[in-house]
Amino acid sequence: MKAETIWAITDGKAGMVNQARGLAHAIAREAGGDVVEKVIVPRAPWAILPAGLWPSGVSGIGPGSDDFSAPWPKIVVSCGRHAIGPAVWIKRQNEGQTAIVHAQHPRTAAARFDVIVAQSHDALDGANVLTVQGSMHDITGASLAAAREKWSDTFAKLPRPLIAVLIGGSNKTYRMTAEVTRRLAADLSRLRTAKGCGLLVTASRRTGAANLAILRKELSLPDIYFWDGSGENPYHAFLAAADAFLVSADSVNMVSEACFTGKPVYVLPLEGGGGSKFERFHNEMRDAGHTRTFVGELEDWHPDRLDQTSYAAREITARLGGGGSTQVK
């Protein structure tokens, strides 16, 4: 299969962009072709409706969107519910000659897509479903090498082992309370004292101002690099430089990206999560030996590197190798 042009379509949110971009470029490495990123700003009423309520003939493309006009791509990689409408619409405009690859559970008719890359904890089955562990991402060996070189002087004086602490926050499933945050800060302080390690700490918008203030107060120490959201984001450099990771349970993406490095990944428990798809994800990752639950200590273990994005790209290339495309329903 010669891919020619691949469009990566999202609503512009970082979590969606990273998945679509990463998978699109991985397919391009397998099949050739150029990747073009497209952002949709959905018009009303489609912006608020679930993907399953979008008719197949509606693109939903509103003012502020990127240019969605011919020449049409050979492949569309979509991620997120807002990307589904334009992906299906493009395939119709191109008379079925565009293949649609969707990352994540689409929450709409599976027959609309040529390939759905679904995470195993979503429990989605079907002939066109490719099941993977964790999420797609745009981390590569080359991007980590570049980040390591760029930031090497910044982290040079921090002691080893170097532990990256990737903190998300509250979502619909988990709660990052002040109590949880204080306990995390205390655990990190004890770990630093016991192991003599350096810490690379990053938080997110979901962490919340109050929790961020707690972390800043408790972790303002010489052996800790704390990124507070200002200046250039060192996230890739954290992945490259760290010897191990502590990742909050609310982020499938950050856990998946950390597991790509082949270094130990510990999941930081938050309040909630029982019976959720997050719990299924963490159980699967732990049972497969990719992660462990953080209980205050670092252990000596060497997990296998998890590169599901490259695996998915190889499988997609093979499935689309005949040049055929499913009929849009």
Residue type at 250?
A: D
With bands split at pLDDT 50, 70 and 90, how would you rate the model's confidence at 327?
A: very low
Q: Using CA atoms, how far apart are residues 198 and 161, in angstroms rounded to an integer?
A: 6
Could you check whether the bond before residue 55 is cis, i.e. omega within 30 degrees of 0? Answer: no
| Cα–Cα distances in angstroms (integers) from residue 123 to residues 104, 130, 172, 268, 280, in the given order | 11, 11, 19, 24, 10
Q: Hey, what CATH class is 141-305 in? A: alpha beta
Identify the residue with better confidence: 53 or 237. Answer: 237
Could you check whether the bond before residue 161 is cis, i.e. omega within 30 degrees of 0? Answer: yes
Q: Are strands 162-166 and 244-248 parallel, antiparallel or unpaired?
A: parallel
Please check whether residue 292 is in contact with residue 268, taking contact to mean a CB–CB distance below 8 angstroms: no
Mean pLDDT of 8-16: 96
Structure tokens at 119: 């995470």
Give pLDDT, residue 49: 87
| Cα–Cα distances in angstroms (integers) from residue 173 to residues 49, 184, 260, 270, 279, in the given order | 22, 19, 25, 10, 10
Please check whether residue 7 is in contact with residue 75, taking contact to mean a CB–CB distance below 8 angstroms: yes
pLDDT surpasses 80 at 134: yes
Please check whether residue 261 is in contact with residue 288, taking contact to mean a CB–CB distance below 8 angstroms: no
Using a pLDDT cut of 70, give the percent of the chain over it. 97
Q: Are strands 271-272 and 174-175 parallel, antiparallel or unpaired?
A: antiparallel
Structure tokens at 136: 């797609």
The domain spans of the chain are 5-133+309-319, 141-305
Pick from 64-68, 254-258, 286-290, 295-299: least confident = 295-299
With bands split at pLDDT 50, 70 and 90, how would you rate the model's confidence at 1?
A: low
Q: Is 236 helix (H, G, I), strand (E, B) or coil?
A: helix
Mean pLDDT of the chain: 93
Question: Strand (E) positions, 92-250?
Answer: 99-103, 115-119, 129-132, 162-166, 174-175, 198-202, 224-227, 244-248
With bands split at pLDDT 50, 70 and 90, how would you rate the model's confidence at 324?
A: very low
| The dihedral sign for the CA sequence 34, 39, 45, 48 | positive
Query: Which pLDDT tens digit goes with each residue over 160-211?
Result: 999 999 999 999 999 999 999 999 999 999 999 999 999 999 999 899 999 9
Roughly how many angstroms between the first and final C-alpha of the chain, as a whole number? 24
In sequence order, what are the residues at sequence separation of 6 or more whose Cβ sits closer than 8 angstroms to the Cβ of residue 277?
A: 121, 122
Q: Using CA atoms, how far apart are residues 241 and 222, in angstroms rounded to an integer?
A: 18
With bands split at pLDDT 50, 70 and 90, how would you rate the model's confidence at 51?
A: confident
Q: Using CA atoms, how far apart are residues 246 and 316, in angstroms rounded to an integer?
A: 32
Query: Which pLDDT tens digit goes with each residue over 226-251?
Result: 997 888 999 999 999 999 999 999 99
- Starting at the edge strand that comes first in sequence, how are the strands of the sheet with 292-293 ordered? 224-227, 198-202, 162-166, 244-248, 265-268, 292-293
- Helix then strand count (H, E) for the chain reads 9, 14
